[in-house]
Amino acid sequence: MNKNVVVGVTGGIAVYKTCELVSRLVKAGYGVKVVMTEHAKEFVTPLTFETLSKNAVICDMFAPKPHFEVEHISLAKWAGAYVIAPATANVIAKIAGGVADDMLTTSFMATEAVRIVCPAMNTQMYRDEATQKNLQTLKDHGVRILEPGVGRLACGDVGVGRMEEPEEIFRYVDEVLTPNPDFRGKRVLVTAGGTEEDIDGVRFIGNRSSGKMGVAIAEAVMERGGEVTFVYGKISVPLPKGVKAVHVVSTQDMYDAVLKEMEDCDVIIKSAAPADYRVKEKFTSKIKSDTLTLELVKNPDIAKAVGEKKGNRILVAFAAETDNLLLNAQQKLFKKNADIVVANDVTEPGAGFNSDTNIATLLYADGRMECLPMMDKRELADVILDAVKSV
């Protein structure tokens, strides 16, 4: 599910509530971009929304851009939900009538996202036949209307026209974009990618982990309403959006980060491939010799250290094996005091390092075992989260 929200802001005093809405969406991990009409800028400056959304505010269709893009279309495609709040009688009339004469109306018309309109206006304007007809037209077009409430309005009148409260708009958007919030309130620490152990000024020991498995898990957690602390080494895919990202280089760095970050987490999922060894003596300059013998020493076992101090937290370790998959995975389950081990035979086509799919067997501390067929890493991520819930 796309977790991006475009908030379209038009010129009405209820704009102060939209600041609160944007703030809530960002805190909940949504990507938020704000589009303002010219009239909206009379009520609040773009800087306010820029600061709250952590994104540039889009106002001008024709502003010069650093690189070529058809901005209203890319914005329309980016959105998972498009909320107009506040929506004046004027903008409601424009979008109902198919008028597209600025960034807000063009991008709203162009989007395939869930479209939500939050009217806010004087009671008579709201009750006016034209406005009611326009709102009905929007409903007929599949636009969802969050009806305004009754109360004292900015003009002094008492009646219907107050924009829906920001917490209610947030709840509605959240329900639309997070239909299965079973990880809401949970923080999950996910490790991803490979670590690097320096040999000299230019060389390192590493492995083929791409981070795809870890990214898939992080995305699944967020889609299910959870929060993610993402401790990652070398990865070849983009960072998942909305995570607390902690970058590390070596296994010792990952050890330090995980042991620190786990304090705030309920679940720890160790899909990273940390280097098991580091060179005993590191050279700062580039080594130049015909032959080279390196002495390697063992790195700390992060999962084992987590297992020793996990308390009520749930620990999911992985086992990347080339032979004796189940026997080795079983040993890792006990040695690391894990609740679940995700065993993958990394020699099998379609499994392990850098592929988009994986073939896994889940081993549980309570003796259960689940052999899974080949599936996308994103699909496997959901199976792992279901397994976590079953512990």
Residues that bind ligand PMT (CB under 6 A): 209-213, 251, 270-274, 276, 299, 301-303, 317-320, 332, 344, 346, 352-354, 358
Q: Which is nearer to ligand PMT, 99 or 294 (CB)?
A: 294
Q: Which is nearer to ligand PMT, 63 or 334 (CB)?
A: 334
Q: Which is nearer to ligand PMT, 200 or 276 (CB)?
A: 276
Q: How far is the CB of 4 from ligand PMT (least distance, A)?
A: 24
Q: Which is nearer to ligand PMT, 10 or 271 (CB)?
A: 271
Q: What DSSP designation does 204 have?
A: E
Q: How far is the CB of 263 from ligand PMT (least distance, A)?
A: 17
Q: How far is the CB of 343 from ligand PMT (least distance, A)?
A: 8
Q: Annotated catalytic, 371?
A: no
Strand order in the sheet with 144-145: 31-36, 4-9, 81-87, 114-119, 144-145
**Sign of the C-alpha dihedral computed for residues 17, 19, 24 and 30 taken in this order:** positive
3-class SS of residue 363: strand
User: One of 59, 118, 155, 265 is an active-site residue; which one?
Assistant: 155
* Region of residue 212 (phi > 0: left; psi between -120 and 50: alpha; otherwise: beta): alpha
Q: CA-based Rg of the chain, rounded to a whole angstrom?
A: 26
Q: How far is the CB of 342 from ligand PMT (least distance, A)?
A: 7
Q: HSE, CB side, 13 Å, CA atoms: give it for residue 327.
A: 3
Pairwise CA distance, residues 92 & 76, whole Å: 18
10 Å Cβ neighbour count for 264? 11
Amino acid letter at 277?
A: Y
Encoded tokens for 26: 């960002």
Q: How far is the CB of 304 from ligand PMT (least distance, A)?
A: 7
Pairwise CA distance, residues 267 & 187, whole Å: 7
Q: Which is nearer to ligand PMT, 213 or 363 (CB)?
A: 213
List residues with catalytic annotation. 155
